A and B are shown apart, each in its own frame.
Chain A
């Protein structure tokens, strides 16, 4: 690993800012450390707080190729690691049977159909066999079953894959790995021990305002400040689902489109459905905002 890939902490923070990602002390330190120690980072936190975006931004800032493995219930080795293209293999066998020279013996044919040409490379294998710098994003890892989690752990421990028919493929470079989790399920202790841990929560007021200013075109400093303050206020109400950063951004964009200069209660209430998903949350919040603090 290049020892100076990220320079120092400030370089990480500035580098992320250059690609429009606003990091706080915690985020910057962990990214910096991950590269220094060559360890994967497990990012946990509520939805929409910039976990996925962080991995993408690190790739962008370090000019690495991003490889993403999106997890879902039922994701298995064949979709995560590799799979033999059996349709193509069958065709090959068929073709072989039909041809004149079918005297070819089975071992030879087997060698033939179990090689690179028939291998479907999935994200994990792709990340390991890549020649260039890689950021590997294993997104929403809490969705996979325990068995697949164990497979991930194995790969992240050895950075090698063994394919019975082909042999072992070792990584040329250790990719920078980010796993994200919305914490719908406890991950195994072993996986957590292997990783650096980063909890990303809703941002502090100042950072959220910065995010809004960076990501929402044409917004005034004053409006961004108000947006951030109102969102912070709403997050203090006990709701089924608090507004996330992505919802803050959607709301801010809407307000800009509507030409709002300064938010009053009515405008806030009318556009609450952009910030909040549940009707009961919208009603509760509308009521709260109307009464004086």
Chain B
């Protein structure tokens, strides 16, 4: 079992996990923002590595990626940043395959692991293509998190969930990241995952309000909140403002 999964299983016995997402390098104070999220009660952090062509992201995270790239953000700068801060909660890096492929899978996996990351999410790499990255991640002990979508047929849910490490990422809806109404297909997707695995299952994609988070948390082990918080950082560079926006999500889950 990966270190990430051990940590998240232990957490499950205490509370529903709050996992905010932030794009690495999107503002000069992005590391302060990550600390603000920890102060607001984040149980783990999902940190984006920007890619020029983020096909699973809507306008808010696209804008964050553009800003991060314009500021010269690379896998190295993000790795250095998170290594320096010694964040007290697990960090999971989300990026697209080309970023790690270009550096070399083994080099990228050790770089992220040495920086302290415990897992990765590559949303453009499905089960059939994840082998090489999983192999490269196994040595340094990085968990490879896989997604299940509302469109994933039952037989496939078993295979993907079985292969996911750390946690299973349940997509709440057929959509890219961004704002949405309600809890979408979350309940159905989580139920399908729960039927085949007891790996912690977190819901993300379009969880926009504390009320969505609370409703979703009824069925799963944690929620991932991206665009709703990233948008705050696009609006204001003040970490206190982000902490203020994140606290209600924490409260909704407790």
Indicate whether A and B interact.
no
Tell me the B residues contacting A by CB distance below 8 Å: none
